[in-house]
Every structure is written in structure tokens, then in C-alpha cells.
Amino acid sequence: MFIELGHFALALALCLALVQSIVPLAGAARRLSGWMAVGRSAALGQFAMVALSFAALTHAYVTSDFSVSNVVENSHSAKPMLYKISGVWGNHEGSMLLWVLILSLCGASVAVFGSNLPRELRARVLAVQGMVASGFLLFILATSNPFTRVIPAPADGHGLNPVLQDPGLAFHPPFLYLGYVGSSVAFAFAVAALIEGRVDAAWARWVRPWALVSWCALTVGIALGSWWAYYTLGWGGWWFWDPVENASLLPWLSGTALIHSAIVVERRDTMKSWTILLALLTFGLALVGTFLVRSGVLSSVHAFAVDPARGVFILVLLIIAIGGSFTLYAWRAPAMQGGGLFAPISREGALVLNNLLLATATGTVLLGTLYPLFMDAFGLKISVGPPFYNRTFLPLMTPLLVAMAVGPLLAWKRGDLTAALQRLWMAFGFALLVVLVGLYLSGFHAVLAILGLGLSAWIAAGVLAEWGERIRLFRLPLHDSWRRAAGLPRAAYGMSLAHFGMAVLVAGVSASAFEQERIESLRPGDHIDIAGYTLTLREVRRVPGPNYVADEAVIEVKRGGAVIDEMHPQRRTFTVQRQTTALTAIRTGLSADLYLALGEGDAQAGWVVRAWHKPIVSWIWLGALVMALGGVVSLTDRRWRVGVAARKPAAPTSIQSAAAE
Amino acid sequence: MRRLVFLVPLALFLGLAGWFAAALFSGRDPRELPSALIDKPAPDFDLPSLAEGRLSSQSLRGQVTVVNFFASWCAPCRVEHPILLRMARQEKIRVIGIAYKDRPEDSRRFLAELGDPFLTTGIDRDGRTGIDFGLYGVPETYVIDKQGRIRKRIVGPVTPALLDRELLPLLRALERS
Amino acid sequence: MRFLLALFLFAAPAWAVLPDERLADPALEARARALSKELRCVVCHNESIDDSNATLARDIRIVLRERLAAGDSDGQAKAYLVARYGDFVLLRPPVRADTYLLWFGPFALLALGGAVAFAAQRRRKPAAPAPLTPEEQARLAALLREEPK
């Protein structure tokens, strides 16, 4: 019953989305306020319907309703509740529903929080959101319906792939989708601006918070995915340049460019058409990311052929959304004249460099991801793996990171590079010190990694130098500096935090060159020495689990002669799926992770134990979190609230505040 | 001129979309994995045989041969087996088996249970011959022409459709040449 | 690819780089490790043979070490595998006419982007007065006043 209701609600949501795409747009063109107002109610109604539909599917999962084929295929009555719920989006159909839920949530948020937007702009933004939603609702209903019944209902479900039953993976998709779908708002604003034919500082101010929300969510989502890979896959890798990972990195890179270029539009009224393009591109890449990965196309063109109906539908959607918006762009963007002049050495100039490098990096990752498919079309099979990206992506990132410390110290319009560099002499000294000490300690090995650490020190110290500059630290009495620090806008702190997070991340990545590895066959009583730790295998015992049997090693960790810990890596054999997975044991710390995985073996031959000592590896995810936190802090800036929720009577006639509605 | 710059994103996207569409409608067999050895001489091997004597690459010369890698532990091999039997018994094709990473007694039991389509069966215990063939996994099937060159590779089980539509015509053509 | 993964599931599980595979000579072993990071496990999803626990990856690791122990150079050892598995086995694609676009594309893109940015910079003229109505100007000014310098 609930299921049919959910299905019906989804169909209703499609109707509302169609109304939302047409009526407000026509209303904006003819300046009919009643028509324009329809957008708001349609967006809210659409959200309510999709939420109802999602609740119905979740209900089916929670109550293990095995008359629904989607539940049968992806759930099992004995599964813990967390994975019953996460199972809702652990499959193609359900994840599409989550996608649309977040999309309609974004639409509803624009409807609610956008009350101070110019009426026409809001109507157009909502209409574009409606169009996007219509496309995906139609896709779900036509090709990926999660509400199909099976008759007769089987007694139990097939269960979820054991590898996917993990808290990290349960929350990874919602964040990732919020990141992907959140970029649809900036996309809708960009399309609306193209229709109106104007972009100004106010437009940029409205767009930036949305772009930031999406960027933060994407940052967290990518970090979660990488962390999951690190602790699950059993050899401590955290980034593989896999097409699936690249698909999430692409909108992140262009989204990062977008949140920077939008600043230029807001402050200096220039780089308009470029910013619009980035907004279109970010959502376009998010679409490519979700759909091409979901349909398996990125790992093989042939996956398209597996389900041609879905493939064709996806392609048509992409052509309408991206092709349509790019056509509009080619038509309307040339008219958008940039305003503010600036010298090459200036804040604007630095942001242009930032955008140039980020856009090139986006292009590089896209090229590396698509090239094997491109060659495949000619019957040639090649692989593009980490060695390619190390030779192309990293050289592009290096100048970006170097410039990251300098850019914020340059003035708008015309900057003084010499003065900026003078303010950074301490940062440079610190970075140099890090490099020299690193070279000395490592005996001139791993030079590139040490330069990476130096780069991290440079950025971190640069962030502090910039902050010290803003509050005139040591140049004004301390209490004056303190007042300035308290008075700095949150957005400034947000930027500092985000840049500092990048420095932390770069340090974590660079330090991976210093990891140590030991792989030994151990019998009980044998030990491994690694990085000052002595790891002794005490015993390997058999531990039964709910749907698996595990061999669990008891490994004593000694340091300096004293026992400090006991670690228990497991090797689980899932009886039904005949699959073996490793449960790693990790001692996480700020200074290093001790990472253990248990391999095959028996009492006679010994057990294979793989141990790693990974210095500051946790800084990678810590850095990503600090970056996302920077975004959140920036979002709390009161200027956004001024921009977002002002209900001052100042609203003039041509930008009528819709708050009164 | 300046307007043309704004057309670049659209042009790039349309190129990409067109190429995706071409890939989508090309109708190529998704399971085709081109071998690096197509039209090259089959690798040399000299394996102990399941019966007695040895199986070597020399025995491939002069006649069109199908080489099938299988293992008793491989479920798709069981699925494929009736097709191999049909090839050998009804279509009178020379089929040679190579037991990949399988204990000889297990291979024997497998063939006794399901029927033995193979003229000879070589034992590739360490999988080295498999690597020389560029093997991905079992089952995998190679068509070798009279000159001892690899003409086709099929990854995964041979299906009846595949046999009728592709394999048999190719084999007949090779035999006539 | 899903099909390949299915095949892989039928293989008995093993582990990435096992103690018994390693060569006694540390220099040779280090070369083997470095090389295996650049070789793809052909039945896996974007994994190097160094990371992979597929049986085929283990076999190829062993073959690779045998080649190195027999005196092959890194290039010869790679060529040995390419002859069997094609370029697909290389995680670092060879630089050839058909991969120029891949290898030099990024830097061409950078140069092109730089040129466009440079041209845009040169073309930038003083702004025409912003087409804002006085009310909008006032509102904008109000917004910008909120912002501390």
C-alpha cells in the first residue's frame, strides 16, 4: 500500500516539476506575478511528494517488505538497521531517488530562502530547477522504478554486498549527492542569468553560498570515500585515480574554481561569462559523474550496451541539460561585458591564475578518465593509472599551491608583488627550514616529498602571515589587533581555514613517501619490527560473526620495551557469498598510523601479516575536513544573511522583495 | 571572431556526446576483449598431458584448432561444457583442453562427469602457459589457424549464439583456406 | 568490467605481495616493487599488480621477478608482459602518436587557457556604466556598505 502511494507520489512530483518548469518561466517573460508565484508552491509541493515517495521506499526497507523487488535484491531481514536504511540508496534505483530528493530539497530551499531575490530571477531559477527535476523524475519512472512488486514475495532478500556494509560507505553517497545536486542551484542561477542576459555583483552574491554548500558537501563526500578505501581495502591506499573517484573529483575541481571566480564577479564585476561557464560546467560534470559512473560507462563503454534504454535516456538528458545550457551560453554570454579593469599582478590576476590552473587540472583529469574509452572505440585498450596523473596533475597543482599563499596578500586592481613577498619572508624561511631539515633527516632521499612538505609549510605559514597582516599583528597594540581579529568577517576566517586545510592535506599526501612496510609470515611468538614498534603475533583465533567466520590475529604492540596496545586484524570469510574480506586494525594518531592486515596462513606455515607505519596519513582527511569547515564558517558570514534574508524595506520597485508573498 | 570562443564549450560537448552515441549504437559485443596476440603465432608450450605423453604447441600446426582453458573449480566452465561437447562431437572440430591451475585428479573427475570433448588435455598447474596466452581467467577459448596463429579469443563461456554466429563460420572459413 | 570482476571472484583469494614471492636481492626486489606499481592487474578494477590480491596478479608478480632475476631490464620485463597482455597492462600509457593528445593535452590546454586569459586581459576596456537602475544602485550600495573593508 505504502509502496503504491510512493509510486503515485513520484508521478505527482513529476507533474508538479513540469508545472514548475513552464509556468514561472512564462510568467517571468510576461511579468505575470501570479504565474511566477506558482514556482514557489510547485517547488515546495514537489519536495513534499518526493519526500513522501522516499519515505515509502525507506519504510519498505525498514519493515523488510520483500514484495518489493528492490528490497529483495538489496536487503535482508537480518541486516542491522543502519544498513537497512543505507540500503535504500545502496542500489541504482534507490540512489536515483535520493538524488531527486536532494534536488527537490534544493529547489524548495531556493523557494524558501530566496524570498529577497528579484521576482523574475527567482521564477527563472525555480523553473530551471523544475526542468532538471523533471528529467530525473522521468528517468526514474521510465527506466529505474524502485517500486516494482514481485509476486509471489520471496521469504527473504539477497542481502547487501558485505564490502558495502560499512558506516563510512553508508554516509558517503548522501554527502556526495548533496555536492553533486547542490551544484544544480548554481547551474539554475547561471541559466536564469543567461536568459535575463545580465550578471552583476548581486547575482554573484546570491550564487556563492549555494556553490559553497555544494563544495563543502562534495569535499566531505570525497574525503569519506577516500577514508573508506583506506581502512577497508587492506593495503592502506587512499586514492587510486579510479574513474569513479575521478568523477567526483571533476566537479570538485571546477566547483573550487567557481567559488573563487564568483568572488571576482561579486567584488569587481568582471569575469562574468567565465563564471557562468564554470557554474554550467560544474553541474555538467556532476551529471557526467553520477550517471556515467552509475551506468558503468566510465569503466567501460560497453556497460551502456548492457542496458541500452538507460544509456539512451541518460545521453538524451545530458544533451538537453549540458548541450542546451551551452547553446544558451554561446548565444547570450558574448553580450556580458566585463567591467572592472585590473593589472596582471593583482588579486583578480591571482584568481585568474587559480582558475586557469584549476580548469586545466579539470581538463587533465577528464582527459585521463575518458581517454581509455576513446581508444576503446578504435579497438585499442590502454590503461591510464596513477603514473599518468603523477606526471600531469601534480605539476599543475604545484604552481597553484605556491600561488595560494601569495594571492590573498595582493590588493584588488593593482597589487604589489614585492610587498606581498616581503610579508611572506617568514613563511618562506619556515618552508626552507622544513625542506633543509627534511633533507638532512632523510639523507637526501625522497626530495619531491620533502619539497611537498615545504610547500605545505609555505601555505600554512602564508595563511598565518595573511591573517597577521589583516589584524596588523605586532604593528598595532595587541588589544587593537584583537579587536581587528574579532571584527574580521567570517568569510575571511573561512578562507584562511580552507587554505590551511589544504596545507594539512598536502603534508599528509607528501608524507606518504615515508611510509614503511613489512610483510612477513609469522607463527605465534614471532615478531615484526617497524618504525620503533615491535609487533608480536600472540595467536590467531577463530571468531564467529553473524554471517561470516573470521580468523582474528592477536598482535601485541610494544614500543620501547613496554606493551602499549593489542591489535586485532581479521580475515573474514562470508559463507554465503564465498567472499573473503580483510578487517584491518589501525592505530590512528596525529603523528602516524600503524596499520595491520592479516593474510592467509595456518599454524604450520605461519600467517602472513602486513604492517605499515604511515606518518601523518590521517592529516589527509583531517585537512579535507578543515577545508569543508572553512566553507561552513564562510557560510555563517553575516553578509550572506544580508544577501539571503534581508527583509529591509529598502527593496526598491524593480527588485521587488517577494518576502511579502 | 570573439563570439566563436563562446561556441567552444558547445562544440567540445557535442563532440563528446556524438562519440558516446556512436559507442552506444555501435552494437559491439561487450565481452570482446581483443587479445594482444591476434594474428600472431600461438605461444610455445610443452605441457604434461592428462592422459599420457605431452601436449606441445607443435601439435597445433597444420590443422585448425580450438584451445580451451578450463578448470574444475570454475562454475562458468560447467555452463560452457555442453557447447564444447557439441563442437567436438557434432561439429567435428579439433578441440584441445588446457587445465588451468587445477589438480589433475580434479580435472579428470570433471571430464569424467561431464564428458570429455578434448583431443588432448594439457596440465598448466602454475598457470604459466595461461600467462603466455595473455589469459584473463577461465574459461577462455582461442581459435588457432593452420599456420599456428591465434585468430580469435573468447573471454568467458562460449554461448550457443556465439558458436553459431561467429565461431563456426570462422572455423569453416579457416578450414577452407 | 563487471564481467571481469565476476571471473575474478571465481579465483581463489590470495594476498598482495606475499613473503614467499620476494627476491633475496633487495635492490632487485625494490625494482620489482617499483615496476609492479606501474603494471595493471588486468582482471581488476584499476588496481596495480602490487596492490591486487587476485591470483593472476600474484602470478604476474612472480613472472616479473623471474624476468628481473634472469637479467631483464625494466623495459624488457615490461615488453614481455605487453607482448602477452597488450598496452592494457601498463598503468603509464606509452607516449606514442595515438597518445600524444593524452600526454601533451594538459599542457596544451594550459597554454591555450593562458593565451585566452592574456587576450581577455588585453581586451578589457573600462567598463561601460553598469546598466543598473538608481534603485538597484542604492540597494547594491546598501549591500556593499555592510561589508567591512
List chain B residues with CB under 8 Å of A273. Answer: 6
Q: Hey, what amino acid is at C129?
A: P
Q: Which domain holds residue A509?
A: 424-513+622-628
A147 in the same domain as A258? no
Q: Which of B2, B24, B26 has its CB closest to that of A315?
A: B24
Q: Which of C43, C87, C116 has its CB closest to that of B136?
A: C43
Neighbouring chains of C at 3+ CB pairs within 8 Å?
A: A, B
Would you call B137 and C12 a contact, using CB atoms and an 8 Å cutoff? no
Which residue of chain A is at minimal alpha-carbon distance from B3? A334
pLDDT tens-digit readout, B73-85? 988 999 999 999 9
Q: What percent of chain A has pLDDT over 70?
A: 92
More confident of the two residues B23 and A2: A2
Is there a domain that residue B66 lies in?
yes
Instruction: Give the per-residue pLDDT at B28.
Output: 59
Instruction: Give the per-residue pLDDT at C5.
Output: 35
Is there a domain that residue B4 lies in?
no
C71 in the same domain as C37? yes
Which of C2, C7, C44 is the best substitution to test chain B (most B C-beta atoms within 10 A)?
C7
Instruction: Give the per-residue pLDDT at C14.
Output: 41
Helices (H), chain B: 2-5, 8-25, 75-89, 104-114, 128-133, 160-162, 168-176
C17-56 residues touching A, CB cutoff 8 A: 17-20, 22, 37-38, 40, 45-48, 51, 53
A180 in the same domain as A159? no
pLDDT tens-digit readout, A82-103? 888 888 888 888 888 999 999 9
Would you call B136 and C10 a contact, using CB atoms and an 8 Å cutoff? no
Q: Which domain holds residue C108?
A: 95-125
Using DSSP, state whether A295 is helix, strand or coil.
coil
Q: What percent of chain A has pLDDT over 90?
A: 54
pLDDT tens-digit readout, A338-383? 677 888 889 999 999 999 999 999 999 999 988 888 887 777 888 8
Distance from CA of C125 to the nearest CA of A (A): 7
Whether the CB of C147 is below 8 Å from some CB of chain A: the reply is yes
What are the Cα distances from residue A453, in Å, to A436, A439, A446? 11, 11, 11
Number of H helices, E strands in chain C: 6, 0
Would you call A377 and B20 a contact, using CB atoms and an 8 Å cutoff? no
Q: H-helix or E-strand containing B150?
A: strand B150-155
pLDDT tens-digit readout, A17-46? 999 999 999 999 998 888 988 999 999 999
A276 in the same domain as A136? no
Which residue of chain C is at minimal alpha-carbon distance from A364? C106
Per 3-state DSSP, chain A is made up of helix, strand and coil in percentages (nearest 5) of 65, 10, 20
Look up residue B16 and give its DSSP letter: H
C44 in the same domain as C12? yes
Whether the CB of A163 is below 8 Å from some CB of chain C: the reply is no
Residue A258, all three cell numbers: 567557481
What value does the mean pLDDT take over residues A390-399?
94
C31 in the same domain as C9? yes
Instruction: Give the per-residue pLDDT at C1.
Output: 29
Which of C36, C139, C145, C149 is the best substitution to test chain A (most A C-beta atoms within 10 A)?
C139
At residue C149 the predicted structure's pLDDT band, cuts being 50, 70 and 90, is very low
Write down the ipTM of this complex.
Answer: 0.86
At residue C136 the predicted structure's pLDDT band, cuts being 50, 70 and 90, is confident
What value does the mean pLDDT take over residues C10-39?
76
Q: Which domain holds residue B142?
A: 32-176
Whether the CB of A197 is below 8 Å from some CB of chain C: the reply is no
Whether the CB of A162 is below 8 Å from some CB of chain C: the reply is no
**Burial (0-12, 13-18, 19+ Cβ within 10 Å), B3:** exposed
Distance from CA of A49 to the nearest CA of C (A): 35
Would you call B19 and A323 a contact, using CB atoms and an 8 Å cutoff? no
Is there a domain that residue C134 lies in?
no
More confident of the two residues A592 and A269: A592
Distance from CA of B31 to the nearest CA of C (A): 8
Is there a domain that residue B43 lies in?
yes
Is there a domain that residue A405 lies in?
no
Distance from CA of B63 to the nearest CA of A (A): 28
At residue B38 the predicted structure's pLDDT band, cuts being 50, 70 and 90, is confident
Which of C1, C3, C87 is the best substitution to test chain B (most B C-beta atoms within 10 A)?
C3
A531 in the same domain as A490? no
Among B83-97, B119-133, C47-61, the minimum mean pLDDT is found in: C47-61
pLDDT tens-digit readout, A457-473? 999 999 999 999 888 88
Is there a domain that residue A419 lies in?
no
C110 in the same domain as C83? no
List chain A residues with CB under 8 Å of C144. Answer: 201
Distance from CA of B37 to the nearest CA of C (A): 7
Whether the CB of A315 is below 8 Å from some CB of chain B: the reply is yes
What value does the mean pLDDT take over residues C7-32?
67
Is there a domain that residue B112 lies in?
yes
Instruction: Give the per-residue pLDDT at A643.
Output: 47
Distance from CA of B30 to the nearest CA of A (A): 5
Instruction: Give the per-residue pLDDT at A320.
Output: 92
Is there a domain that residue A302 lies in?
yes
- Is residue A135 within 8 A of residue A181, CB to CB? The reply is no
Helices (H), A233-323: 243-268, 272-287, 293-294, 303-306, 308-318
Is there a domain that residue A403 lies in?
no
C62-101 residues touching A, CB cutoff 8 A: 86-93, 98-99, 101
Would you call B17 and A323 a contact, using CB atoms and an 8 Å cutoff? yes
pLDDT tens-digit readout, A533-558? 999 999 999 998 777 888 999 999 99
Instruction: Give the per-residue pLDDT at C7.
Output: 36
Distance from CA of C38 to the nearest CA of A (A): 7
Is there a domain that residue C50 lies in?
yes
At residue A295 the predicted structure's pLDDT band, cuts being 50, 70 and 90, is low
Q: Which of A280, A281, A315 has its CB closest to that of B20?
A: A315
Is there a domain that residue B171 lies in?
yes
Among A212-216, A383-387, A477-481, the minimum mean pLDDT is found in: A477-481
Would you call A304 and B9 a contact, using CB atoms and an 8 Å cutoff? no
Which of C110, C112, C136 is the best substitution to test chain A (most A C-beta atoms within 10 A)?
C110
Looking at the DSSP bridge assignments, the partners of residue A586 are A595
Instruction: Give the per-residue pLDDT at C124.
Output: 67
Q: H-helix or E-strand containing A204?
A: helix A201-232
pLDDT at A164 over 80: no
At residue A302 the predicted structure's pLDDT band, cuts being 50, 70 and 90, is very low
Would you call B36 and C84 a contact, using CB atoms and an 8 Å cutoff? yes
What value does the mean pLDDT take over residues C23-30?
87
List chain B residues with CB under 8 Å of A329. Answer: 6, 9-10
Is there a domain that residue B87 lies in?
yes
Number of folded domains that form chain A: 4
pLDDT at A618 over 60: yes
A129 in the same domain as A84? yes
Q: Hey, what amino acid is at A63?
A: T
Is there a domain that residue C130 lies in?
no
A126 in the same domain as A243? no
A454 in the same domain as A355? no
**Who's near A599: CB < 8 A, 6+ residues apart?**
A571, A582, A607, A608, A609, A610, C15, C18
- ∠ Cα A163 A169 A175 (to 5°): 160
At residue A163 the predicted structure's pLDDT band, cuts being 50, 70 and 90, is low
What value does the mean pLDDT take over residues B159-175?
91
A56 in the same domain as A3? yes
Residue C25, all three cell numbers: 636481492
More confident of the two residues C22 and A161: C22
Distance from CA of B21 to the nearest CA of C (A): 20
Is there a domain that residue B2 lies in?
no
Whether the CB of B14 is below 8 Å from some CB of chain A: the reply is yes
List chain A residues with CB under 8 Å of B136. Answer: none
Instruction: Give the per-residue pLDDT at A657.
Output: 35
Residue B119: other Cβ atoms inside 10 A:
16
Of the residues A130, A165, A200, which one is the last residue of a structural domain? A165
Would you call C17 and A519 a contact, using CB atoms and an 8 Å cutoff? yes
Would you call A319 and B10 a contact, using CB atoms and an 8 Å cutoff? no
Beta-carbon-side half-sphere exposure of residue A647 (alpha carbons within 13 Å): 7
pLDDT tens-digit readout, C53-85? 788 888 999 999 999 999 999 999 999 999 999
Q: H-helix or E-strand containing B96?
A: strand B94-100
Whether the CB of B23 is below 8 Å from some CB of chain A: the reply is yes
Instruction: Give the per-residue pLDDT at A115.
Output: 81
* CB–CB contacts below 8 A, B to C: 58
Q: Which of A243, A339, A650 has its CB closest to that of C142?
A: A650
Q: Which of B30, B130, B137 has its CB closest to that of C7?
A: B137
pLDDT at A290 over 60: yes
pLDDT at A404 over 90: yes
Is there a domain that residue B23 lies in?
no
pLDDT tens-digit readout, C82-131? 999 999 899 999 999 989 999 999 999 999 999 988 888 777 665 555 56
- Is residue A16 within 8 A of residue A46, CB to CB? The reply is yes
Q: What is the mean pLDDT of chain A?
A: 87
Is there a domain that residue A638 lies in?
no
Instruction: Give the per-residue pLDDT at A405.
Output: 93
What value does the mean pLDDT take over residues A258-275?
90
Whether the CB of B100 is below 8 Å from some CB of chain C: the reply is no
A229 in the same domain as A198? yes
Is there a domain that residue C108 lies in?
yes
Whether the CB of B3 is below 8 Å from some CB of chain A: the reply is yes
pLDDT tens-digit readout, A425-446? 999 999 999 999 999 988 888 8
Neighbouring chains of B at 3+ CB pairs within 8 Å?
A: A, C
Instruction: Give the per-residue pLDDT at B26.
Output: 67
Number of folded domains that form chain C: 2
**Burial (0-12, 13-18, 19+ Cβ within 10 Å), C125:** exposed
Instruction: Give the per-residue pLDDT at A432.
Output: 96
Which of C39, C80, C82, C84 is the best substitution to test chain B (most B C-beta atoms within 10 A)?
C84
Is there a domain that residue C101 lies in?
yes
Whether the CB of A305 is below 8 Å from some CB of chain B: the reply is yes
Would you call C40 and A652 a contact, using CB atoms and an 8 Å cutoff? no
Instruction: Give the per-residue pLDDT at A567.
Output: 95
pLDDT at C145 over 50: yes
Number of folded domains that form chain B: 1
At residue A294 the predicted structure's pLDDT band, cuts being 50, 70 and 90, is low
**Burial (0-12, 13-18, 19+ Cβ within 10 Å), A140:** buried
